[in-house]
A and B are shown apart, each in its own frame.
Chain A
């Protein structure tokens, strides 16, 4: 299985809740990123294991924005490749999202411990 296939297999295990958790975690540093940069950061931090598809991440970002967990800002940037000024949307986490993020991280850590325990018992058994 090559890296792309591994990444696809791992990413397919992520449900929407877990994907949102990752998105919010990347932005929890307080920095603002475009969706493209968020995808690159997750890929980098997971060393290529988790790779989001752009077409699936944008609907999630829209939902998180509607829920009030993300805020969007439009920036003007100069594109060196295209030689024009174009607009880019960057996202940042809202204050409300920090509490939600904390709760979800706690839930995930508990879930992770439970699943690992079950799997280890199955292996031993």
Chain B
């Protein structure tokens, strides 16, 4: 007897509830409870869940914490079986109490490190390693590869590639800037290039790398943004839509800034300098937007749900997948910043000093945000485990 209610829960909440449900049925089979009795109790509990969903008036899907409360209101399998007045041996009850705790703390992120499973790249459901079709959404699993726990990258960084990629890119920017500055300015360094030769080498790079990078980045943003317009506003949480709007706004502000610089700056500015300024301003705007939306990003269930809905409703997902879109964004951001760092270090700071510091500030904000998210992830995981122990 399966629960067909996944659309009302976030993926992690659903996995926990489904695990609980199957665990209860397995316990009943193990104790050889009559089928009629099983059906009666399970139907009653299922009805309880339906009424719980009916009462849950928020537009969002039911998150992990509320689902944990639901399971607590239903009771643990041990309590349910005890209430049925079955001649259960005390030892079995005691042994199973520990299993209940384990079941209740099923966290699909925790499973990454313990078992080899395949993650559906549509709905991120963990399936058995030999599965061809996802048991949650029914889609064919596109890539048969093992998902190991990304212990060095918090889940939020995977869910929010902009933060991860921008933070990494800024770090590369600063590092390369320092390295190239040293190479350029150290008179005793035998590898030092002359200023003119350095500029000559760099001059053609932006045209062939930077412009495709901008196009790829904008196209990715367009795919994510455009295909989600109606659904996100009519049915689901709009926090993700605000995030994407701010990102698009950042791109627009950048283009306007470039035009203003060319027209209104009192000193002359050449092509390469303008590009460095463009990227600095673009990511400054992004940094501000991400910081403004920090509280939205903390609402992981809404963001994760929105991304999964995106995967369902975006036609492009037949050819792309979420991981690929993320990788494109990360690659584009990293390449852009590498070029920016090289350009930045090749000029006097009299012109670019201010913009360099402007670019530095959002990096700091995002690193702080990233650390905060990592802490949130860690504490949320611990809190769930402690809360789940109360099922005992």
Contacts and interface: CB of A to CB of B under 8 A. Distances in A.
Given A36-B52, A55-B79, A58-B41, A88 B47 contact: yes
Contacts of A111: none
A51 B45 contact: no
B207 interface: no
Interface of A: 4, 8, 34-37, 39, 51, 53-63, 79-82, 86, 88-89
Interface string B57-80: 000000000000000111111011
Contacts, number: 79
Contacts of A57: 83
Nearest to B37: A62
A56 B48 contact: no
Contact of A34 (B43, B51, B74, B77): B51
A63 B40 CA distance: 11
Contact of A61 (B44, B74, B76): B44
Interface string B7-20: 01000000000000
A36 B48 contact: yes
B157 to A, nearest CB: 33
Chain B interface, DSSP helix/strand/loop, else mixed:
helix
Closest 4 CB pairs of A and B: A53-B75, A55-B80, A55-B75, A58-B44
Contact of B79 (A34, A53, A88, A89): A53
Nearest to B77: A55
Nearest to A86: B50
B85 interface: yes
A86 B236 CA distance: 24
Contact of B48 (A35, A62, A79): A35
Given A34-B51, A36-B51, A59-B85, A54 B45 contact: yes
A116 B74 CA distance: 32
A54 B85 contact: no
A59 B47 contact: no
B56 interface: yes
B54 A79 contact: yes
A81 B53 CA distance: 7
Interface in B70-127: 72-77, 79-80, 82-85
Max chain A C-beta neighbours (<10 A), residue from B53, B77, B83: B83
7 contacts: A4-B390, A35-B47, A36-B52, A53-B73, A61-B44, A82-B50, A88-B50
B41 A81 contact: no
A36 B43 CA distance: 13
A39 B47 CA distance: 13
A115 to B, nearest CB: 25
A54 B75 contact: yes
Interface string B29-53: 0000000000011011101101111
